[in-house]
Amino acid sequence: MFQEIFECSPLALILVDCNGKMKYVNREAERLFGYSKNDMQNQNLEMLVPHESRDRHPKLRTGFFENPQSRSMGMGRDLFGVRRDGSKFPIEVGLNPIVSEGETYVVSSILDITSRVKAEEKFRTAVEAAPNGMIMIDEKGVIILANEQAERMFGYTKAELLGQPIEFLVPLETRGRHPAFVKSFMNSPVPRPMGVGRDLFARRKDGSQFPVEIGLRPFAGPEGIFVISSIVDITERVKDRQRLMSRNEELQQFSYRTSHDLKAPLISMRGLAEFILEDAANGDIAEVKKNAEKIIKLSDKLKSLLEDILSLTKADHIEEPAVEISVAEVISTARLKFQGLAKDHDIEIREMLAHSKPLKSQPLLFTQILDNLLSNAIKYVDYKKPTQLVCVRTYSDDHHFYIQVEDNGLGIPAEKQTEVFGMFKRFHKENTEGSGLGLYLVKKLVQKLNGTITFESSPEKTVFFISLPNRG
């Protein structure tokens, strides 16, 4: 009966004594290892063990017989058998001690897992090749697999991730609640996106958080339920969405204010034109001249507004190669351009150029930035001060070019400084020159050049600081 059970087993079975001698092998063991019964019986079990492990095996066998218990062999290690032809193949081994006539033996059940290993390797290759971060957890929420993309995304190595609870990658403020989510999912494991209707965030090794989109895919294995999580870093998508929302708000504001600022001078000009016709009919030439001058001023204001609107609409579409810019020449041209306006306001324009490296950037955008800052500085002159000054300073380092535009004009009221770079912002009622788009346009152009702009303002002076990446 014992032999019949042995022979009918679909697994390879080998009966081994305490000295490591194979006392009985079944047909499946013959087929698996390529030996006949006669070749195997009463031979050392080590003949079926790869050469690199043969020396260590007797000690492991002795350890088992000192404490014989039913268990799997080599937990946590990859096990291999060796065939008669010398080829190696992956195996799973179960050990079951039995006692017969006072002697202890062990029945080794051996399963060839070549197909499973190949399937697992294909699975791992597919996971590794995925463009998203891929992490697999077991029923307890412990990470058992992570691909290279997940390593890059979270800043951990595989060794640091494996064996950790999935909460390891969850922000601190939601970490305590997350195990309940895992348990709930394991109770009803169906493929679905995670956190529908909620903003999801993950946590990197450095503690920083980033928005993610996660898909959950459960599957059942011999050892229970596992879940593959596909993780996408949506930082750029969130930024794009925020930019789009901000742009939509700006467009609504722009449409409303532009409509108002275009209509108002046109209505005034029409009214003044009607007055001129009336005064001309009455022969009042002085009044005709006075109203005509008003129309000219209004048309100049309208022209300035249209030019600013045109510059603003063009800003997003200007693309030009970065070239070496003669900053001194750009400043000199700007001085000539604003010479009349500076003279009208009795303003002295100074320059202090201390840059050691030339600026390589987009010349048209740089010129527009400087023109708008100079124009703005000149317009808001403070006649109560003994002298009126505007100063342009430059300096540079290995990677950046810096420009400062300083004036001792009226300054920006402290309560309005958060609005400086907004659309249609003017901060001095007594000075109505300009459209209020200048500084908004300047910031937009600086950002287009991947630079930054900040400012400091007080009743004594206002300074705008610009930092541009120097492509030179």
Residue 133 Cα distances to 150, 161, 208, 213, angstroms: 4, 13, 17, 10
> According to the 3-state scheme, what is the secondary structure of 39-89?
HHCCCEHHHHCCHHHHCCHHHHHHHHHHCCCCEECCCCCCEEEECCCCCEE
pTM: 0.50
Low-confidence ranges of the chain (pLDDT < 50): 432
Q: What is the pLDDT of residue 250?
A: 67
Q: How much is the pLDDT for 395?
A: 92
CATH number of the domain at 2-112, please? 3.30.450.20
Phi-psi bin for 101: left (phi > 0), alpha (psi -120 to 50), beta?
left
Residue 397 makes CB contacts below 8 A (sequence gap 6+) with: 357
At position 30, the amino acid (one-letter code) is: E
* 207 alpha carbon, distance to own chain's centre: 14
- Domain coordinates in residue numbering, the chain: 2-112, 120-233, 236-317, 319-472
Q: Do 411 and 459 meet the contact criterion of CB atoms below 8 Å apart?
A: yes
- In tens, the pLDDT along 214-228 reads 999 998 877 789 999
Local structure of 429: helix, strand or coil: coil
Q: Residue 78 is encoded by which pair of tokens?
A: 């990859």
Query: Is CATH 3.30.43.10 what the domain over 319-472 is classified as, yes or no?
Result: no
CATH of 120-233, one of 3.40.50.20, 3.40.50.150, 3.30.450.20, 2.40.10.10: 3.30.450.20
Tens-place pLDDT, residues 225-246: 999 999 999 999 888 888 778 7
DSSP assigned state of 459:
S
CATH of domain 236-317: 1.10.287.130
Q: Are domains 120-233 and 319-472 of this chain identical in fold? A: no
- In a 3-state reduction of DSSP, which class is residue 194? coil
pLDDT of 342: 81
Residue 446 CB: number of other CB atoms within 10 A?
A: 21
